């Protein structure tokens, strides 16, 4: 899997205002900004992203995914 493929899968299942994916083909890091994260704790945000990947995590197609999940307001505050 490539970074572009992983990015496409996440974006297809989650409305993202900003999405960056980088990694080596097995270990990935994503920065994901979505209004869907509003009012959710970090674990619920991560579970939402994992839901977009479905069986790809269980089948080891995506071996490891670390992520920073932010709301649009959190993203804006971080960039100021």
Mean pLDDT computed over every residue of the chain? 94
Could you read off the pLDDT of 3-19 as tens digits, one per residue? Answer: 999 999 999 999 999 99
Per-residue pLDDT, 57: 82
What count of other Cβ atoms lies within 10 Å of the Cβ of residue 71?
A: 18
Q: Where are the domains of the chain?
A: 3-79
Provide the percentage of residues in the chain whose pLDDT is more than 90.
Answer: 76
Q: Structure pTM?
A: 0.91
pLDDT of residue 4: 95
Q: What is the pLDDT of residue 34?
A: 98
Question: How does strand 27-33 pair with strand 18-23?
Answer: antiparallel
Q: Is the pLDDT of residue 80 over 80?
A: no
Specify the CATH number of the domain 3-79. Answer: 3.30.300.90
């Amino acid at each position: 899997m490539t970074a572009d493929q992983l990015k496409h899968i996440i974006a297809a299942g989650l409305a993202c205002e900003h999405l960056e994916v980088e990694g080596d083909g097995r270990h990935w890091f994503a920065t994901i900004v979505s209004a869907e994260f509003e009012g959710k704790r970090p674990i619920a945000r991560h579970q939402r992203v994992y839901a977009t990947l479905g069986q790809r995590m269980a089948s080891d197609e995506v071996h490891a995914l670390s992520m920073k999940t932010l709301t649009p307001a959190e993203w804006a505050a971080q960039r100021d």
